Amino acid sequence: MNFAGLNKSGKNYWLFAGLILLVALAGFAWLVLAQPASSPYQTSVVQRGNLTANVSATGNVRAAQSATMIWNTSGRVTTVNAKLGDKVSTDQLLAALDPDSVSRNIILAQADLVSARQNLDTLQQSNSNGAQAMKVLSDANQAVQDAQDAYDSLTRKRVSDQLIEDTLDEVAKAKDQLKRTEWVFDKFYSHLDNGNTTKLQMIVSLTNSRQNLANLTAKYTWYTSSARETVIAKSLAALNLAKAKQQDAQREMDRFKDGTNQDDLIAGRARVAAAQATFDLSTITAPFNGTITQSGPQTGDRVISGQTAFRVDDLSNLIVDLQISEVDINNVAIDQPVTITFDAVPNKSYNGKVAKVDLAAKAVKGAINFDVTVTLTDADEQVKPGMSAAVTITVKQISDSLLVPNRAIRMVDDGGRVVYVLRNGIPVATSVRIGATADTTSQVVGGDLKDGDLIILNPPAPTSSAAQNATATPQR
C-alpha cells in the first residue's frame, strides 16, 4: 500500500474543504451586510371603507315586569302550587295558609264568605237588566276596593325592616369598596398616561364602584322614603272617581225595585266582597303571567306578615338599563340596534334595540349621564335577571369613507389631530379632522390626508401644534 500517496491526497482534501467553507462564510457576511437597516415604523396604506360607530355601556338585566309578593298575615303554609322556574298565569293560586293556623278574623271570613254567597244568590234577580246592573255595581265596588287598597298602600312601609338593614349594610360595603378603589387609583394609576390600558381598566373599575354605590343608595332611599304628596293626591283622586262611579252604579240598581230589597242586595254584595278580601289575605296569587324567579315557602313553614313569598318576573320581556354619558347621548335614538354580551354566557352575543332614552340627565359625583333602556329581542333561558351585560349600541353606519386606524392618530396641544405620513422614508405630520369613531378606526372628514398615503401606525408623539407642519425624527 502507498501511504505517502494517501497522505498527500488527504491534505488536498482538507485544503479544498477549507476553501469552500471560507467562500461560504464570506458570502453569508456579504448578504448580512448588504441588507438595508430595518425601518422602525409600522405602516398602512390609507384606504376608503365602511365604518360602524358604536356607543358602549354596561348595565344589569331585569324583567320589564317584576313583582315580589309578601304574606299579609301569619300562619302555617299548607299549599304550595309553584316552585322555582315554574311558569304561572294571572290570578293563579301559588300558595295558601292552613285555615286553622291563621288569625281568628280570617277563619271567620271563610264562614262568612260561604254564608254571604248563599244570601246573595237568593237575592239575585232573573231579569237580565237587573243582573247587568248588579254586575256593574259589583265591578264598581271592586274598583273602589282596589283604589282604596292602592291609596292605603302608599302609607305602609314598602319593605321589611330586615331588607332595609341589609341594604344599608350593602351601602356601607360599597362605600368601603369605592374608597379602596379610589386609593389604589390615586396611588398607582393616576400618574399614568391617559392612553395607558391599565389606567383605563382601573378607571372602568372605579366608575363601576361609583355606579354600584349610587344604585344601592337609590335603592335604600326608595325603601325608606314615603310616597310624594302628588302621588298620594293622584291616588286619592282615583279613589274619589271610583266612589263616584260606584254611586252611579248604585243609582242604576235602584231602578230595579221589583220586589227585591235593594238595600239587602247591596249589603249582601258588600258582605261577599268583604269576606272574600279578608279570606284572600291567607293566599298568594300571581299578579301577571310570568316565571317564578324566587320561591320561599315550603309546605309546613311558619310565616309572618311581611315575609317574602315569591318573586315573579316576565322573562319573555327582558331589558337592560344603561347610563350613557352626555357626550354620547345625542347619538342614541329609539329603535337603534344593539348587541349584548354577558360574562355569564361566554362566546355568545344577543340582539336588541333601544326602547327608551331619557330626556333629562342625572348627575352622580359630577358625571352627567342619561338613562337608556334597551330590550333584548332574542333572549334565551341562559339570560337571567340580575346578570351584568355589556351593551354596544350601533349609532351610525358610514360607507365609502376615508378611514385611518385610531392607533395612528395623535393629538396636539391646541386640540387638533395629526397622523404621520411616511414620505421618502421620513415621517411627516399631516393634519386631519376626525368624524365618526369606532373601536379601531375613525372617519377622516377633513385635513390634508389623501387616499393612498402611507401612514405610520407607531408614530412619534407631537408636543405642540407646530408638529403638524414639522418633520419628525423616528423614535427608537
DSSP 305-342: TT-EEEEEE-TTSEEEEEEEETTTGGG--TT-EEEEEE
pLDDT at res. 14 = 61
Burial class (CB in 10 A: 0-12, 13-18, 19+), 89: exposed
Which contacts qualify for 443-452: CB closer than 8 Å, 24 or more apart?
A: 443/51, 443/398, 443/401, 443/402, 443/403, 444/401, 444/402, 444/403, 444/404, 445/401, 449/46, 449/402, 449/404, 449/419, 449/421, 450/46, 451/46, 451/47, 451/48, 451/402, 452/45, 452/46, 452/47
pLDDT at residue 371, as a whole number: 94
The tens digit of pLDDT for each residue in 83-107 reads 998 999 999 999 999 888 887 777 6
Residue 139 to residue 131: CA distance in whole angstroms:
12
- Cβ pair 114, 276 in contact under 8 A: no
Task: Quote the pLDDT of residue 302.
Answer: 92
| Residue-level pLDDT at 416 | 86
Closest CA to 320 of 300, 337, 348, 340: 340
Mean pLDDT of 129-152: 84
Distance CA(312)–CA(326), nearest Å, equals 35
Give the residues across from 325 on adjacent strands: 369
Residue-wise over 338-354: b if at least 16 C-beta within 10 A, else e? bebebeebeeeebebeb
**Measured between alpha carbons, how far is residue 335 from residues 315, 358, 436 in Å?**
21, 14, 20
- Reported as half-sphere exposure (CB side, CA atoms, 13 A), residue 7 has a value of 3
Q: Which CATH architecture has domain 44-50+401-469?
A: Beta Barrel (2.40)
Within 10 angstroms of residue 129's Cβ, the number of other Cβ atoms is 11
Q: What is the pLDDT of residues 411-460, one digit of tens each?
A: 888 778 999 999 888 899 999 998 887 778 888 999 989 888 999 998 87
Thinking of the domain 53-64+315-397, which architecture would CATH place it in? Answer: Beta Barrel (2.40)
State the Cα–Cα distance between residues 11 and 230, nearest whole angstrom. 114
CA pair distance 367, 362, nearest whole angstrom: 8
Distance of alpha carbon 53 from its chain centroid, rounded? 20
- Give 454's strand partners: 45
Residues of the chain with pLDDT > 70, as a percent, come to 82
Record the cell numbers describing residue 19, joined without a space: 476553501
Give pLDDT, residue 108.
72
